[in-house]
Amino acid sequence: MLQSVPLIGRDIALEESLIPIDTTLKKRLADIALNAARSKGATYADVRIGRYLNQFLTTRENRVENISNTESYGMGIRVIANGSWGFASIDQLTEDNIARAAATAVQIAKVNSKLLTEPVKLAPQRGYGEVSWKTPIEKNAFEIPIKEKTELLLSVNDAAMKGGANYVNSSLFLVNEQKYFASTEGSYIDQDVHRLWPTFTVTKIDPKSGKFETRNSLSSPMGMGYEYLIPKKEEEIEGLFTIYKNRYNMLEDMTTATRQVDEKLRSKPVEAGKYDLVIDPTNLFLTIHESVGHPTELDRVLGYEANYAGTSFLTLDKWESKKFNFGSKIVNFEADKTQKGSLAAVGYDDEGVKCKNWDIIKDGILVNYQTIRDQAHILGLPESQGCCYADSWSSVQFQRMPNVSLKPGKAALNPADMIKNVEKGIYIFGRNSYSIDQQRYNFQFSGQLCFEIKDGKIGGLLKDVAYQANTQEFWNACSAICDEKDYRIGGSFFDGKGQPSQVSAVSHGCSTTMFKGVNVINTGRKI
């Protein structure tokens, strides 16, 4: 489930954010917590010392609305005592406070152990000793002067205003998670994780009718440094208009978007009915996220999310049968926590498990889920798949989605050739409205740009388009997937799950994909 933008943390000076915290100090603080937890009766403990830096730059038209640097620093201690989980977090890291928090975590575990049906069972995990990992960035976005970043956003806004926009908003979100994990199993893991998301919305109002239209950026949030914002010809795909792979030309996209808003104002309403959909990765990533990523989360399947995000139609019996047809034979989904440039890539998850990749849907069949240490035994797995994450030192870590991506087609195919075979279809770009039920059967998505396809040719833009489908029917209607040259990753920067709700960032890769005979509704209304 996706949420609006949260602003968590305290403001700090920029220069302060560039000074990392000494690993020796973190190890000493972690050992205090681990020893205190053990002395109070914990049979397992892990501690996360987190320093989470965010920088948000927001602009509208010709002015900077907000520049915010925030830091959140503190410690979360998780324990098992009497077979039950307990957790406590603090932001004043004195020795006394740490020992008290460890004791509180153990006390909570003991109190709650009366409400257990079976003790927590952790998959074996060896300690890695002192290790580290860093997102492979070329330019630390936090080190780029604020002036350079605001100038980029304002130049992008200027292009929109010159193109006749009434309003334009642009923003840049930067995240740096400096995470230190230690456990009673002997791991001391220091990680430096970077993500960023440039985005915009351009708005035009038709003075005659008072109607307005918008077009959002077709960028992706990425696990990259500032290099993502430095355009590179090799990372561009020329098609109906230019789209972007691992580099983004924000100015060019804004110029295109501003022109396209005019076309949106003139677009004709869609006629409801069945269409062949050709879906660009800028739209399909979100459909993958909602209809493949979430239902294969094992905690949902088991009922741990029943009270909030929901459960899943991909029940264990379907996996056990080894023949549940999730999609057509060309549909292959891989989970991957190591993919370069992706949002969920880390070296180790938040319970100290080294990250890897594995198949979830193979040749259309459900073959696996996403697990963490206390779930692995349910699937008979010898180890966790490394999907544990907490959005802050103050949050309890739990199962979160790895990058889940659709493998590209093996035969050479590009979108232009794919469209030639479509008699009555719609070519969809960009994320827009999205909604799916709590077991992930029925969904409805709309896009930023929906082009009509008639007799193999692209026509004008359509408005009020939304596609509604059942997940299994939709993926079984998947009839063609473009090859790896068209493969791109999209992502969700603020995916929400859990109680209290936590966000996480996750990517989904795919190439342009065709679906036969999908139900399209017209969402136009008069008030």
Partner 1 sequence: MSILSTEEARAILKKALSFSKADECEVSLNGSEGGNIRYARNAVSTAGDMSSMGLAISSTFGKKTGSATINEFDDASLEKVVRRSEELAQLAPANPEYVSLEGPKTFAESITFNPTTARVNPDIRAEAVRKSLEVAKAANLEAAGFLENTTSFRAIMNSKGLYAYNKDTDVSFSVTTRNQAGTGSGYVSNSFNDITKLDTLALTKIAAAKANGSAGARAIEPGKYTVILEPLAASDMLSNLVRGFDARGAEEGRSFMSKKGGETRLGEQLFNEQVNIYSDPFNPELPGATWNGDGLPVERTSWVEKGIVKNLSYSRFWAQKKGVKPLPSAGRIIMEGGSASLEDLIKSTEKGILVTRFWYIRSVDPQTLLLTGLTRDGTFYIENGKIMFPIKNFRFNESPIIMLNNVEALGKAERNGNMIVPPMKIRDFTFSSLSDAV
Which positions from 265 through 304 interact with partner 1, judged by CB under 8 A? 302-304
For residue 1, the tally of other CB atoms under 10 A from its CB is 19
CB nearer partner 1, residue 87 or residue 244: 87
Member of 44, 52, 56, 87 binding partner 1 (CB under 8 A): 87
**DSSP per-residue codes, 383-416:** S--S-EE-SSTTS--EE---EEEEPPPSS---HH
Member of 96, 117, 323, 380 binding partner 1 (CB under 8 A): 117
CA 199 to chain CA centroid, nearest Å: 15
The distance of closest approach from Cβ of residue 289 to partner 1 in the complex, given in angstroms and rounded to an integer, is 13
- Cα separation of 366 and 268, whole Å? 40
Only segment of 109-117, 228-236, 343-351, 419-427 that touches partner 1 (CB under 8 A): 109-117
327 near partner 1 (CB under 8 A): no
What φ, ψ does residue 469 adopt, rounded to 5°? -155, 170
Contact 387, 371 (CB under 8 A): yes
313 near partner 1 (CB under 8 A): yes
Contact 520, 481 (CB under 8 A): no
Member of 23, 112, 199, 338 binding partner 1 (CB under 8 A): 112
68 vs 39, 51, 175, 198, CA distance in Å?
41, 16, 12, 15
- Cα separation of 138 and 228, whole Å? 9
Token digits for 148? 């350079």
Only segment of 18-26, 104-112, 184-192, 483-491 that touches partner 1 (CB under 8 A): 104-112
Member of 52, 56, 85, 348 binding partner 1 (CB under 8 A): 85
CB nearer partner 1, residue 180 or residue 434: 434
Only segment of 129-137, 191-199, 393-401, 447-455 that touches partner 1 (CB under 8 A): 393-401
Member of 191, 385, 394, 476 binding partner 1 (CB under 8 A): 394
Member of 43, 140, 328, 523 binding partner 1 (CB under 8 A): 523
Member of 270, 343, 466, 520 binding partner 1 (CB under 8 A): 466
Nearest to 84, CA basis, from 49, 122, 47? 122
321 near partner 1 (CB under 8 A): no
Residue found under tokens 């100038």: 151
Number of residues interacting with partner 1: please give it, by CB under 8 A: 84
CB nearer partner 1, residue 365 or residue 390: 390
Contact 61, 203 (CB under 8 A): no
Q: Under rule CB under 8 A, which residues in 480-499 are in contact with partner 1? A: 499
Contact 480, 494 (CB under 8 A): no
Member of 22, 96, 118, 234 binding partner 1 (CB under 8 A): 118
CA 204 to chain CA centroid, nearest Å: 29
Member of 23, 199, 315, 338 binding partner 1 (CB under 8 A): 315
Axis crossing angle, helix 146-162 with helix 250-266, rounded to the nearest 10 = 30
Only segment of 103-111, 226-234, 348-356, 408-416 that touches partner 1 (CB under 8 A): 103-111
CB nearer partner 1, residue 330 or residue 503: 503
Site string for partner 1, 227-266 (x = CB under 8 A): ----------------------------------------
The distance of closest approach from Cβ of residue 343 to partner 1 in the complex, given in angstroms and rounded to an integer, is 21
Residue found under tokens 């008069």: 526
CB nearer partner 1, residue 296 or residue 405: 296
455 near partner 1 (CB under 8 A): no
Residue 142: strand, helix, or coil: helix
**DSSP per-residue codes, 258-314:** HHHHHHHHHPEEPPPEEEEEEE-HHHHHHHHIIIIIGGGBHHHHHTTTTTTT---SS
The distance of closest approach from Cβ of residue 32 to partner 1 in the complex, given in angstroms and rounded to an integer, is 17
The distance of closest approach from Cβ of residue 184 to partner 1 in the complex, given in angstroms and rounded to an integer, is 18
Q: Under rule CB under 8 A, which residues in 14-73 are in contact with partner 1? A: 63-65, 67-68, 70
Contact 469, 478 (CB under 8 A): no
Q: Under rule CB under 8 A, which residues in 141-180 are in contact with partner 1? A: 146, 150, 166-167
* DSSP assignment letter at 164: T
- Cα separation of 352 and 368, whole Å? 21
- Cα separation of 222 and 316, whole Å? 33
Only segment of 114-122, 277-285, 319-327, 358-366 that touches partner 1 (CB under 8 A): 114-122
The distance of closest approach from Cβ of residue 148 to partner 1 in the complex, given in angstroms and rounded to an integer, is 13
Axis crossing angle, helix 23-39 with helix 95-112, rounded to the nearest 10 = 40
357 near partner 1 (CB under 8 A): no
10 near partner 1 (CB under 8 A): yes
The distance of closest approach from Cβ of residue 252 to partner 1 in the complex, given in angstroms and rounded to an integer, is 25
* DSSP assignment letter at 372: -
The distance of closest approach from Cβ of residue 325 to partner 1 in the complex, given in angstroms and rounded to an integer, is 16
Site string for partner 1, 425-444 (x = CB under 8 A): --------xxxxxxxxxx-x
